[in-house]
Amino acid sequence: MDAFMAARMQMGVSLGFHIIFACIGMVMPWFMFVAEWKWLRTNNPVYLDLAKAWSKGVAIFFAVGAVSGTVLSFELGMLWPGFMEHAGPIFGMPFSWEGTAFFVEAIALGLFLYGWKRLNKWVHLYTGLIVGIAGVLSGIFVVAANGWMNAPSGFDWIDGKAYNIDPVKAMFNKAWFSQAHHMTIAAFSATGFAVAGVHAILYLKNKLEIHAKAITIALTFASAAAILQPISGDLAAKNVAKLQPAKLAAFESHFETQERAPLIIGGIPDVENETVKYAIKLPGFLSFLAHGDFNAEVKGLDQFPKDEWPPIPITHYSFQIMVGIGMFLMLIAAIFLAATFKYKHWLEKKWWLRMLFIATPLGFIAVEAGWIVTEVGRQPWIIYGIMKTKDSLTPMPGIQYTFYTISAVYLILSFVVIWLLSRQIKVLQAKYLSNG
Amino acid sequence: MVEINFLIMVISLFLYVLLGGADFGGGILELFTRGKAAKIVTKAIAPVWEANHMWLILVVVILFVGFPTVYSTVLTALHIPVLMVLLGIIMRGSAFTFRHYDIDEKRPMKIYSAIFQYSSLVTTFFLGVTLGGIILGEITLDYREGFFEVYIHPWLNLFSMSMGLFLVLLFAFLAGIFTVSEIKNEEYVQYFAKVTKRLLLGLVLTGALVFLTAELEGHPLLMEFIQSPVSIAAIVLATLALPFLWKYLNNPNRLMLRLIGGFQTTMIVIGWFAIQFPIIVNIKDAPDITLQNAGAPYKVQLYLLIALVVGVIIILPSVAYLYKVFKFEEKSVRENE
């Protein structure tokens, strides 16, 4: 592995690790908030237990998310100093707002976690709401900064330097909105299904009320998100078609520019011969999805020089995985809706709980796949159309070793977090079973 | 404008040293006292440690938005010590949280504590080493020189090492002050007062070592110090406060201890800042990176300042509330329990 590949992999591992903790840290507070609110409304102590149990998980995820986020803010400069030297002043504004939002989130979470006895009940509930709002806002700010890398704006690029910098225009770049709603909804969906899945397997073992309540809260958020997500995804794809046609062509493996372009489902892209083997092709559907017209022309990879092609197979597979999972989660959401309003007995069925359990990791796999589509799909550019990733690499040799180190640390940390959570769950379970 | 943003950055760095210092120092102090302080440290810093952490992020964001060449130059030349700091931050933050939230079992707790303690030490040491590298002026922009010259020598030298040691003792000292003013048990108060006094002695000695090694490495720190009335005044004031600190360590007074400890740290930061200003990073064989030549354009600075001011208006009252709830209402809650 050369230094360039190692640096990209290190960035990918660090982001891929952080995104999971960031999603959970921004969505779980909403679940805690609802649980506590229900407790205040119904006086059912099960809701209080649930809010407290969840808050322990949130504390762990939030702490690991905070440290891995700090690491990222340094890694950007340690791996890509050429990028940050130019981009920092331009796309830094959302980061400075993100700092504030995250600060507020950390403070409110401190109050929530340690303030059960010290705060008035309603003030306590309110701090939970602040955690949720601040978390979502900080997520949106970071995604806005990433949007700028996809749709750079707010500066003039003359001879390798940026002039006339306008941080506001840079923040409200053309990609920020579609990326922000797509990511926020994805976070709710992924976290919701993960939480529901864990409680579903526990409920399958012991039919405790606390797990049933937990599943209802988590699935309500997750289902709303899963049903909205295709609409959000459609808007995002149309935006990519307009702003980054090479990325769209890569994840669709659309080699040849044509009208009535087919939507390619599955298959194995053969980059050498510029075809996709064993795929299902729906004529005209790509034109429709990208431009809203079955006969519209969709730009293919042939419009771009080969050295500007993103890596095609990995973006193509990732896109298929993301969409496939999205469809499956939407199906679960539909069943949940049907069950809630008409077929209540389904909620107790083994097949249903098993289905939820299977869905536990799927949302996060889709989130990771989606980020691979966005980030790998932007290559070879780090600032789309302006600066190539390889030109911004640190001159320091031996990045391979920092990549191995960071990966090992994150791998170990992942195992420890999973182990820790399973211990927490066992304690909770034991407490309920001994109470009868 | 550039000056204001820079000042806010220095203040954030200062708050990080002061508040985060007590928290990093907590781990070091635990190590020095073989875990005696563990429970107290955990209890004292648990609700605020994530908030402490944010000051560092604020410093980094101001740097890459407002002073991008500082950010990219430092993170290139000092890649290795910064990486050590980051690994330390990951490990101590995770271990601290795990220790607090995992179910109470002897073996895992021991492991978490050991990781928390050693990584606190390593993080602080390399933070000091990094600061030393920024001050010393061995950073080169000529990346064609050998690996050692470009990526090792700027931080692997006597001066940076003594800066690392200095910061370790400073943070442990701050944590000592914090602990002494936090605990009630008379026996422990005596013990931690004794430890803190030793740390203070060590701190003064390492302070001298920092100046000595600067001379050895050919950086005229002492000369610059003598020529700066502000830093002389700062160090004189810090020294004058020493006897009072000694007195209150013998006879603990919670508020005075914190005030004097905070005052001395402030003086150290001001003294350093007065020497360094307006240079931000000293560079070898090339013009230094200064406040004048590193600042981003006016409009960028303006929006950065707006964000910072709004941020401060939102954050300060929240931080004050957090401290109020957890630090000042402790007594009444304890009585209620």
What's the complex ipTM?
A: 0.88
pLDDT of B336 reads: 42
Q: Are A222 and A277 in contact (CB under 8 A)?
A: no
For B272-325, how does the pLDDT look when each residue is reduced to its tens digit (9 = 90+)? 888 887 888 888 877 888 888 888 888 888 888 888 888 888 888 888 888 788
How far away is chain A from the Cα of B196, in angstroms, using its nearest Cα? 29
Q: How many residues does chain B have?
A: 337
pLDDT of the residue at A4: 93
Of the pLDDT bands very low, low, confident and very high (cuts 50, 70, 90), residue B176 is confident
Is residue B47 predicted with pLDDT exceeding 70? no
Q: Collect all residues with Cβ–Cβ distance below 8 Å to B279 and sequence separation of at least 6.
A: B288, B289, B290, B291
CA distance B69 to B294: 6
Contact A60 B304 (CB under 8 A): no
pLDDT > 70: percent of chain A: 100
Pairwise CA distance, residues A310 & A320, whole Å: 16
How many A/B residue pairs have CB atoms within 8 Å?
Answer: 203
Reported as a single tens digit per residue, the pLDDT across A153-199 is 988 899 888 888 888 898 899 999 999 999 999 999 999 999 999 99
Given a contact cutoff of 8 angstroms between Cβ atoms, the answer to whether B154 and B140 are in contact is yes
Long-range contacts of A335-343 (CB under 8 A, 24+ apart): A336/A219, A336/A223, A337/A223
Place of tokens 């955690």: A131
* Cβ-based neighbours of A326, under 8 Å, separated by 6 or more: A226, A229, A230, A233, A366
State yes or no: pLDDT of B330 exceeds 80.
no
Are the beta carbons of B274 and B231 closer than 8 angstroms?
yes
Dist CA B312 CA A253 (whole Å): 48
Model confidence at A292: pLDDT above 80:
yes
Is some CB atom of chain A closer than 8 A to the CB atom of B303? yes
Residue ranges in A80-175 assigned as alpha helix (H):
81-114, 121-150, 167-171
Is the residue at A297 inside a domain? no
Greater model confidence, B202 or B249:
B202
Could you give the 3-state DSSP secondary structure of residue A277? Answer: strand
Report the distance separating Cα A100 and Cα B315, nearest Å. Answer: 7
Q: Do A84 and B304 touch (CB under 8 A)?
A: no
Distances (CA, A) of A414 to A68, A366, A411: 12, 18, 5
| pLDDT of A29 higher than 50 | yes
CB contacts under 8 A, B 130-169 vs A, are: 143, 147, 150-151
Of A85, A117, A406, the CB nearest to B68: A85
**Within a domain: A214:** yes
Determine whether the interchain pair B91/A85 forms a contact, defined as Cβ–Cβ distance below 8 Å: no
Contact A70 B318 (CB under 8 A): no
Residue A159: inside a domain: yes
**Winning range, highest mean pLDDT, from A40-44, A92-96, B246-250, B251-255:** A40-44
User: A320 vs chain B: nearest CA distance in angstroms?
Assistant: 34
Residue A314 lies in a domain: yes
Please check the confidence at residue B331 and state whether its pLDDT lies above 70. no
Q: Is B250 exposed, middle or buried (0-12, 13-18, 19+ CB in 10 A)?
A: exposed
How many domains does chain A divide into? 1
**Helix count (H) and strand count (E) of chain A?**
13, 10
What the block records as the tokens of A161 is: 């330097």
What mean pLDDT value characterizes chain B?
Answer: 83
Output the pLDDT for position B334.
Answer: 45
* Residue A232 resides in a domain: yes
B279/B23 Cα distance (integer angstroms):
29
Q: Which of A60, A78, A416 comes nearest B82 by C-beta?
A: A78
Contact present, B306 and B72 (Cβ < 8 Å) = no
pLDDT at A224: 95
- C-alpha A392/C-alpha A383 separation (Å) is 10
pLDDT in tens, A242-257: 899 899 888 888 888 9
Confidence of residue A144 (pLDDT cuts 50, 70, 90): very high
- What letter does residue A304 receive in the DSSP assignment? S
- Rg for chain A, CA atoms, rounded: 23
Which residues on chain B are in Cβ contact (under 8 Å) with A82?
A: 72
Torsion angle in degrees (nearest 10) through CA of A216, A217, A222, A225: 120
Touching A: B residues 54-83, CB under 8 Å: 54, 56-58, 60-62, 64-66, 68-69, 71-76, 79, 82-83
**How much is the pLDDT for A60?**
86
What region does B268 belong to: left with phi over 0, alpha with psi -120 to 50, or beta? alpha
Residue A30 has pLDDT above 70, yes or no: yes
Chain A contact for B322 (CB, 8 A cutoff): yes
pTM: 0.90
* pLDDT value for B335: 42
Asked, for residue A284, whether it belongs to a domain, the answer is no
Least confident of A112-126, A218-232, B80-94, B273-287: B273-287
Of B300, B304, B314, the CB nearest to A104: B314
Residue B9 in this model has a pLDDT that exceeds 50 = yes
Summarize chain A as % helix, strand, coil (round to 5): 75, 5, 20
Instruction: Give the separation between CA A43 and CA A51, rounded to whole angstroms.
Output: 13
Within a domain: residue A289?
no
pLDDT band at A230 (very low <50, low <70, confident <90, very high): very high
- Residue A261's region, left for phi above 0, alpha for psi from -120 to 50, else beta, is beta
Token duo for residue B52: 């402490």
Residue predicted with more confidence, A36 or B330 = A36
- The DSSP annotation for A8-52 comes to HHHHHHHHHHHHHHHHHHHHHHHHHHHHHHHHHHH--HHHHHHHH
Top mean-pLDDT range of A88-92, A217-221, B97-101, B302-306:
A217-221
- Nearest-neighbour CA in chain B from A358: distance (Å): 27
Residue B333 has pLDDT above 50, yes or no: no
pLDDT at A359: 93
Residue of A14, A75, A78, A423 to mutate, testing the B interface (most B Cβ within 10 Å of its Cβ): A78
At position A99, the amino acid (one-letter code) is G
Confidence of residue B37 (pLDDT cuts 50, 70, 90): low
pLDDT category, B332, cuts 50, 70, 90?
very low
The answer, yes or no, to whether residue B53 has pLDDT greater than 80, is: no
Average pLDDT of chain A to the nearest whole number: 90
The pLDDT-based confidence of A15 (bands split at 50, 70, 90) is very high
Cβ–Cβ below 8 Å for A107 and B51: yes
Chain B: residue nearest A101 by CA?
Answer: B311
Percentage above 90 pLDDT, chain B:
13
What pLDDT score does B44 carry? 62
Over residues B110-135, the mean pLDDT reads 91
CA-based nearest distance A191→chain B, Å:
21
B68:A167 CB<8 A:
no
Does pLDDT of A436 surpass 60? Answer: no
Q: Which two tokens stand for residue B187?
A: 């026996």
- Within-domain flag for A324: yes
Q: For residue A349, give its domain range.
A: 3-242+308-434
Give the model's pLDDT for residue B269.
85
- Cβ of B299 and A165 within 8 Å? yes
- Which residues numbered 102-121 in B keep a CB inside 8 Å of some CB on A? 102-103
Helices (H), chain B: 2-15, 21-32, 38-45, 49-66, 68-77, 79-101, 106-136, 147, 158-182, 186-216, 221-226, 229-250, 254-276, 291-294, 298-323, 330-336
Q: Which residue among A84, A166, A168 sits closest to B71, beta carbon to beta carbon?
A: A84
